């Protein structure tokens, strides 16, 4: 739980200092599972030298969404509506999370249930506290990043295929534009930034139903929309199930945490996995 929150918050607090990357996209015919069957569409380009404008105040409650400013809320919700569903496959649809209090609470609950470590005493209390922290971090990132630097993607059932399933958020993943020099050294010299995939979570009752696979495919679509070729994520070295999932999605292990992190800090060793995604192939 502590590791998830520390990495979750550290990513969010780098967003307001990074230059904005442009939307660069080519028209390409694709299968019916991408972007409502319409394939990739042309998007607009943004000035790569423009800086992110961040809010000066902070909050920990989704009820304070209005303090973000109508411009930012409209931009995020407008982007979510314009993109629609990025992927529709295996009975699940993935879209961008809207800047709405109830939706953000549901997304935070999914991640909290996935990453919460049960406590021997007062577990309900600690879970509620952890969920509030996850919600606070999610709200912080939404408030302090433009729509082309961070996105929270959510999966929900395709009601057209199964009318018995309610429209609820069953899976979540975060996608963030980063430029960690240690990672960039492992990429081609012309790569200035990359998409970092994190916080992937699926409700317990919906696991092993291809939801995580669909979420990762949505990350691929988003990388094409934002004009990035490289996606990066980290996985625990001994989590063979997660590593198999990522390997099947095209990620390859390129490095791992240095030994001192496991011996001195006592943290489980993680591996860095990178995927080169080319929408033209």
Helix (H, G, I), strand (E, B) or coil at 212: helix
Tokens of 124: 């309900």
Q: Among this protein's residues, is 246 annotated catalytic?
A: yes
Closest by alpha carbon to 210, among 153, 166, 249?
A: 249
* Angle of CA points 156, 250, 158, to nearest 5°: 15
* Angle of CA points 159, 161, 165, to nearest 5°: 45
Q: Is the dihedral of CA 165, 175, 21, 135 positive or negative?
A: positive
Most distant CA pair in the chain, distance: 55
Cα 233 to Cα 46, 111, 227: the distances in Å are 26, 16, 18
Beta-carbon-side half-sphere exposure of residue 52 (alpha carbons within 13 Å): 26
DSSP labels for 4-66?
HHHHHHHHHTTGGGSBPPPP----B---TTBGGGT-B-------TTPBPP--S---S-GGGGG
Closest by alpha carbon to 271, among 232, 229, 213?
A: 232
Annotated catalytic residue: which of 85, 194, 246, 251? 246
Catalytic residues: 246
């Amino acid at each position: 739980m502590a590791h998830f929150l520390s990495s979750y918050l550290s990513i969010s607090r780098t967003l307001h200092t990074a230059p904005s990357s442009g939307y660069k996209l080519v028209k390409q015919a694709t299968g019916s599972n991408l972007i409502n069957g319409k394939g990739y569409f042309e998007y607009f380009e943004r000035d790569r030298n423009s800086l992110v404008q961040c809010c000066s105040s902070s909050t920990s409650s989704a009820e304070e969404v209005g303090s973000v400013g109508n411009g930012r809320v409209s931009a995020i919700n407008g982007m979510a509506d314009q993109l629609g569903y990025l992927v529709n496959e295996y009975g699940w649809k993935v879209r961008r999370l809207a800047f709405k209090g109830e939706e953000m609470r549901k997304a935070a609950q999914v991640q909290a249930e996935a990453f919460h470590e049960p406590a021997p005493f007062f577990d309900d209390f600690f879970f509620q506290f952890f969920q509030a922290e996850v919600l606070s971090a999610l709200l912080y990132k939404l408030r302090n990043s433009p729509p082309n630097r961070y996105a929270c993607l959510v999966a929900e059932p395709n009601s057209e295929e199964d009318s018995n399933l309610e429209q609820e958020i069953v899976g979540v993943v975060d996608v963030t534009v980063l430029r960690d020099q240690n990672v960039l050294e492992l990429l081609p010299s012309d790569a200035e930034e990359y998409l970092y995939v994190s916080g992937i979570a699926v409700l317990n009752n919906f696991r092993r139903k291809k939801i995580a696979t669909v979420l990762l495919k949505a990350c691929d679509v988003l990388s094409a929309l934002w004009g990035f070729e490289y996606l990066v994520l980290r996985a625990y070295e001994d989590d063979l199930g997660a590593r198999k999932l990522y390997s099947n999605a095209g990620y390859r292990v390129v490095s791992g945490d240095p030994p001192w992190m496991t011996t001195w800090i006592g943290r489980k060793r993680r591996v860095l996995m990178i995927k080169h995604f080319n929408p033209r192939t």
